[in-house]
């Protein structure tokens, strides 16, 4: 089946994190519609086994394919790190499959000034070594320092942002020796842009904090143009699905999209 411009873009994450990417996509691709799935029943993915992450990801990909999506964007670093290859085989040519790691790596490779980079993310992402492996394959001159920060995603999902609790946790992680003297920091989890300002403030804004959302949205736009799948006109109606209701998801979605968001709860594993 030939993909068409008017088909929606499918985006999924374990929770609210992927909304940072969805928001950037809406700003950059105003004529395209998207379907977002937040797997809030199983968050966070970062402390799950690779088998569990792949199982959840396949079911969501199947759902998005049933919704006739032309693109399935894995807007979760943990799923991008450990499940993407298997998902690629599963999705095949039924949709364009993309992740949030490769565009960031490409961004790093193109900038010759990077020499010492930090990466923070979930246990699944950091243990996979995805960022370090992909960067070192092409740029041996870059030193990559990785640190698992497993409390950050659930902290954000629970609504602890811009307060003393979140600042203390951020400070405890970023003070570790693994991240000493870095030039830039990759936010290796799509939840983390929500606390980007707090992270930048810890470094007195002297360290470049690399937010994947805009980078991924630009990469998606280039991909759609290259495949003649960019929608240039038409009414947009975005849809939001969750596997379990959480009050903070609704709060964050309204903050990003500045409008009342209708959340549809659906259990794909029933």
Verify that 245 and 259 share a domain, yes or no. yes
Reported as a pLDDT band with limits 50, 70 and 90, residue 269 is: confident
In this model, does residue 109 exceed pLDDT 90? yes
Q: The domain containing residue 55 runs over which residues? A: 9-99+214-265
Element (H, E) at 144: strand 143-148
Reported as a pLDDT band with limits 50, 70 and 90, residue 254 is: confident
Question: At 218, is the secondary structure helix, strand, or coil?
Answer: helix
Closest CA to 9 of 248, 264, 254, 237: 237
For residues 235-262, average pLDDT: 84
Verify that 234 and 207 share a domain, yes or no. no
Give me the pLDDT at residue 41, please. 94
Q: Which of 212, 227, 252 delimits the end of a domain? A: 212
Helices (H) and strands (E) in the chain, counts: 12, 10
Q: CB–CB of 150/218 below 8 Å?
A: no
Give me the pLDDT at residue 52, please. 97
Whole-angstrom Cα distance, residue 25 to residue 30?
8
Give me the pLDDT at residue 42, please. 94
Q: Among the residues of the chain, which ranges form H helices? A: 19-28, 50-66, 77-82, 84-91, 102-110, 123-128, 130-138, 152-157, 164-174, 196-202, 212-226, 247-257
Within a domain: 2: no
Please pick, among 82, 95, 174, 189, the residue that the annotation labels catalytic.
189
Q: CB–CB of 38/13 below 8 Å?
A: yes
Verify that 71 and 83 share a domain, yes or no. yes
Verify that 205 and 106 share a domain, yes or no. yes
Q: Which pair of tokens denotes residue 164?
A: 């003393």
Give me the pLDDT at residue 176, please. 97
Within a domain: 253: yes
Closest CA to 131 of 111, 147, 155: 147
Reported as a pLDDT band with limits 50, 70 and 90, residue 85 is: very high
Total of domains in the chain: 2
Verify that 219 and 201 share a domain, yes or no. no
Please pick, among 73, 76, 153, 182, the residue that the annotation labels catalytic.
76
Verify that 76 and 109 share a domain, yes or no. no
CATH code: domain of residue 114: 3.40.50.1860
Verify that 61 and 154 share a domain, yes or no. no
Verify that 113 and 208 share a domain, yes or no. yes
Give me the pLDDT at residue 151, please. 96
69 included as an active-site residue: no
Residues 181-240: tens digit of each pLDDT:
999 999 999 999 999 999 999 999 999 999 899 999 999 999 999 999 999 887 778 999
Residues 126-172: tens digit of each pLDDT:
999 999 999 999 999 999 999 999 999 999 988 888 899 999 999 99
Give residue for tokens 């991008």. Answer: 80
For residues 42-60, average pLDDT: 95
76 included as an active-site residue: yes
């Amino acid at each position: 089946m030939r993909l068409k411009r008017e088909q929606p873009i499918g985006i999924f994450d374990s929770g609210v994190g992927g909304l940072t990417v969805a928001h950037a996509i809406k700003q950059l691709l105003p004529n395209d519609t998207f379907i977002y799935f937040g797997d809030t029943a199983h968050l966070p993915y970062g402390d799950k086994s690779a088998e569990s992450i792949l199982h959840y990801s396949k079911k969501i990909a199947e759902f998005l394919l049933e919704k006739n999506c032309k693109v399935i964007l894995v807007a979760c670093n943990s799923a991008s790190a450990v499940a993407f290859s298997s998902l690629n085989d599963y999705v095949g040519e039924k949709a364009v499959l993309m992740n949030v790691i490769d565009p960031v790596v490409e961004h790093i490779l193109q900038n010759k000034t990077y020499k010492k980079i930090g990466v923070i993310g979930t246990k699944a992402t950091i243990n996979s070594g995805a960022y370090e492996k992909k960067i070192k394959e092409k740029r041996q001159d870059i030193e990559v320092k990785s640190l698992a920060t497993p409390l950050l995603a659930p902290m954000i999902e629970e609504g602890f942002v811009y307060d003393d609790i979140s600042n203390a946790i951020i400070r405890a992680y970023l003070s570790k020796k693994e991240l000493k003297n870095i030039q830039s920091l990759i936010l290796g989890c799509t939840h983390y842009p929500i606390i980007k300002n707090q992270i930048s403030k810890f470094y007195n804004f002297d360290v470049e904090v690399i937010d994947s959302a805009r980078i991924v949205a630009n990469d998606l736009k280039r991909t759609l143009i290259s495949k003649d799948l960019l929608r240039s006109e038409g009414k947009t109606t975005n849809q939001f699905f969750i596997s379990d209701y959480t009050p903070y998801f609704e709060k964050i979605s309204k903050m990003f999209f500045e409008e009342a968001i209708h959340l549809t709860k659906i259990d794909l594993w029933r």
